[in-house]
């Protein structure tokens, strides 16, 4: 297969940190052999293989050739221009992941998961399985992220693999990311728990006002004082870790018999851990879906790599570290929860497992304290998602696939993607204001997740395609292919599970259980329609073709723009 099909500008990689000889034009010459990569000063891989050329005297002269994979319309250097520069180290990148993963799920999901599968043992196994599947996904994203250390995440990876029809993958992802990339649910959870901590019974519109205040505050902080926003993410992320550590240590004390007056038998849940386990595959499917949703966020760093110092090295450290921290905390927190109550007690209590834990260990007033904890956790989640999603919006604008790309790619006034933040704020605000709380809101949240699973499935399939197309392309991190296949199986499960009929034929809302995945598919198809109109129908009806050029904005950001050329 000719390599010319797959060559592009470059395939960036992390430059070696060892002292290597430097040749002409600032090229670092790798002395690891003729087939070793060569790196320019900016980390671009200049040569990744060699081929034999007959010099005419019977000797074969091994000359380096360029084998690279193109992703998007901008080069790595062009994509990184403008903005705040590289300011995120290992700690901030790790907390970006931790802050996204630890939301409200760990405080509420264990009760519904255990109620669904019927036993503590089965529930704990699902948490372990969910962590394993999340690591499988993380390793797939690490391979892509180290090959393409630039902001955008799935956008970049889809562009690298699915290059024909041109712009189709980018536009489908753009429609999904912009239309469903809101953080309304986190804002609502913050509002609900803050008023609960204040022991008030406000109206729905009062909760909406608080939720709007949250998204406005987060947007303004990330726009005008972005470095303070990063610091706030780190602080809130640290608080969330401390909260879970407090629950874990308290659970150990319970297991040790420190509160036998309230919990006389703390080992009851673990004595016959698999008793009463469910036998319905649908119940396990639903429970695993909730577990994986609680781990969602391990890919958060991939969206902001233009702002990460030494992105390949940092990503390889922060990714496993962030997910590993959350996984250990989640498993130990579950053990603590079930030291305080059996599954039957939790189901009968009518509250979440965390609330019941605090109630039994510390008394009635502790539920208010827990509400503050959950509100802080939700705030950290909103901070992390907003920070990353704004960068994705900006990268989409820089590729020229959204209208008014010069505006949406801007970084006024402090180097942060302010227009990208606004583009994230708009759908979040609309959902908070327009969607009624209850079933309708829960339905919208369900719709959010399904297209993401479709995108993830295409990404992991793309990894196999890229391994076949470009086997010798430099990969600073290589995932073991069976691990990638296991993640693909998990994604296929998530795509099929919502269509499995639940017991009684009723999902988690009063709407048909199969409706939200259908709506999610419609959102993706809307991207296909947008592409067909923009790239095919409009030019044909208008008698022109799209031409493109790159423009540099006042802040240094490079943007791809399109203009019409009359057909001859």
Instruction: Tell me the per-residue pLDDT of 157-177, one tens digit each, with 9 for 90 and over.
Output: 999 999 999 999 999 999 999
Q: What mean pLDDT do residues 82-101 have?
A: 94
CA dist 389 → 241, 304, 448 (Å): 23, 9, 14
Is residue 524 within 8 A of residue 447, CB to CB? The reply is no
Distance of CA 19 to the CA centre of its chain: 35
Is residue 245 within 8 A of residue 106, CB to CB? The reply is no
Q: What mean pLDDT do residues 24-28 have?
A: 34
Res. 352: pLDDT tops 80 = no
Question: In the predicted model, what is the mean pLDDT of the chain?
Answer: 85
State how beta strands 60-65 and 49-54 pair: antiparallel
Between 33 and 112, the more confident residue is 112
How confident is the model at residue 238, as a pLDDT? 96
pLDDT in tens, 443-478: 887 888 889 999 999 999 999 999 999 998 999 999
How confident is the model at residue 225, as a pLDDT? 97
* Choice among 190-194, 331-335, 456-460, 558-562 with the minimum mean pLDDT: 190-194
CA neighbor of 303 nearest in space, from 393, 432, 418, 392: 392
Res. 310: pLDDT tops 80 = yes
* Choice among 214-218, 281-285, 318-322 with the minimum mean pLDDT: 281-285
Q: How confident is the model at residue 28 (pLDDT cuts 50, 70, 90)?
A: very low
How confident is the model at residue 81, as a pLDDT? 86
The domain spans of the chain are: 3-65, 76-531, 534-566
How confident is the model at residue 38, as a pLDDT? 43
How far is Cα 388 from Cα 292, in angstroms, rounded to an integer?
20
Between 449 and 153, the more confident residue is 153
* Choice among 304-313, 355-364, 470-479 with the minimum mean pLDDT: 355-364
Domain 76-531 -> CATH class: mainly alpha
How confident is the model at residue 44, as a pLDDT? 40
Res. 154: pLDDT tops 90 = yes
Encode 253-299 in three state secondary structure.
Answer: HHHCCCCCCCCCCCCHHHHCCCCCCCCCHHHHHHHHHHHHHHHCCCC
How confident is the model at residue 437, as a pLDDT? 81
Sign of CA dihedral 76, 77, 83, 84: positive
Is residue 101 within 8 A of residue 326, CB to CB? The reply is yes
Q: 304 CB contacts (<8 Å, ≥6 apart)?
A: 88, 96, 151, 387, 388, 391
In the numeric block, which tokens belong to residue 409? 């790619």
For residue 147, which phi and psi values (nearest 5 degrees)? -75, -40
């Amino acid at each position: 297969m000719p390599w010319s099909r797959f060559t592009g500008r470059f395939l960036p990689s992390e430059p070696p940190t060892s002292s290597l000889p430097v040749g002409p034009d600032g090229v670092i010459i790798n002395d690891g052999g003729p087939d070793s990569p060569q790196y320019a000063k900016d980390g671009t891989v200049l040569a990744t293989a060699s081929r034999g050329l007959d010099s005419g005297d019977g000797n074969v002269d091994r000359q380096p050739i360029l084998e690279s994979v193109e992703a998007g319309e901008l080069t790595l250097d062009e994509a990184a221009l403008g903005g705040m520069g590289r300011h995120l180290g290992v700690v901030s990148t790790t907390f970006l992941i931790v802050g996204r993963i630890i939301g409200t799920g760990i405080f509420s999901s264990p009760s519904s998961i255990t109620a669904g599968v019927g036993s503590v043992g089965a529930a704990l196994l699902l948490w372990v399985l969910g962590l394993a599947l999340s690591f499988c996904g993380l390793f797939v994203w690490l391979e892509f992220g180290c090959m393409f250390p630039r902001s955008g995440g799935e956008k970049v990876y889809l562009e690298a693999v699915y290059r024909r029809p041109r712009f189709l993958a980018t536009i489908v992802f753009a429609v999904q990311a912009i239309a469903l990339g809101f953080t309304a649910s986190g804002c609502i959870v913050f509002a609900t728990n803050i008023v609960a901590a204040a022991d008030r019974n406000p109206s729905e519109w009062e909760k909406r006002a608080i939720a709007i205040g949250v998204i406005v505050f987060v947007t303004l902080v990330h726009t005008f004082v972005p470095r303070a926003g990063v610091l706030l993410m780190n602080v809130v992320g640290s608080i969330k870790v401390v909260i879970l550590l407090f629950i874990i240590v308290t659970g150990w004390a319970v297991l040790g018999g420190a509160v036998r007056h309230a919990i006389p038998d703390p080992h009851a849940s673990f004595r016959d851990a698999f008793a009463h386990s469910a036998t319905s595959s649908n119940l396990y499917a639903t429970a695993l879906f909730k577990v994986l949703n609680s781990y969602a966020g391990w890919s958060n760093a991939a969206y902001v790599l233009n702002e990460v110092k030494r992105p390949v090295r940092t990503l390889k450290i922060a990714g496993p570290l962030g997910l590993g921290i959350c996984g250990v905390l989640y498993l130990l927190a579950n053990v603590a929860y079930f030291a305080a109550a059996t599954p039957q007690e939790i189901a009968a209590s009518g509250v979440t497992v965390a609330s019941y834990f605090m109630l039994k260990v510390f008394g009635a007033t502790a539920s208010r304290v827990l509400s503050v904890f959950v509100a802080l956790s939700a705030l950290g989640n909103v901070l992390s998602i907003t920070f990353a999603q704004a960068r994705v919006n900006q990268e989409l604008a820089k590729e020229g696939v959204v209208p008014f790309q010069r505006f949406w790619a801007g970084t006024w006034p402090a180097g942060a993607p302010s227009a990208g933040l606004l583009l994230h704020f708009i759908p979040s605000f609309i959902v908070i204001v327009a969607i009624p709380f209850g079933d309708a809101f829960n339905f919208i949240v369900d719709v959010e997740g399904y297209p993401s699973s479709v995108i993830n499935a295409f990404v992991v399939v793309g990894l196999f395609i890229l391994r076949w197309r470009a086997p010798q392309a430099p990969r600073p991190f290589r995932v073991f292919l069976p691990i990638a296949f296991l993640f693909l199986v998990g994604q296929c499960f998530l795509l099929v599970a919502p269509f499995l009929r639940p017991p009684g034929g009723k999902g988690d809302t009063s709407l048909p259980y199969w409706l939200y995945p259908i709506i999610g598919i419609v959102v993706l198809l809307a991207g296909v329609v947008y592409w067909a109109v923009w790239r095919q129908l409009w030019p044909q009806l208008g008698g022109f073709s799209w031409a493109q050029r790159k423009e540099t904005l006042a802040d240094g950001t490079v943007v791809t723009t399109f203009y019409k050329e009359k057909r001859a």
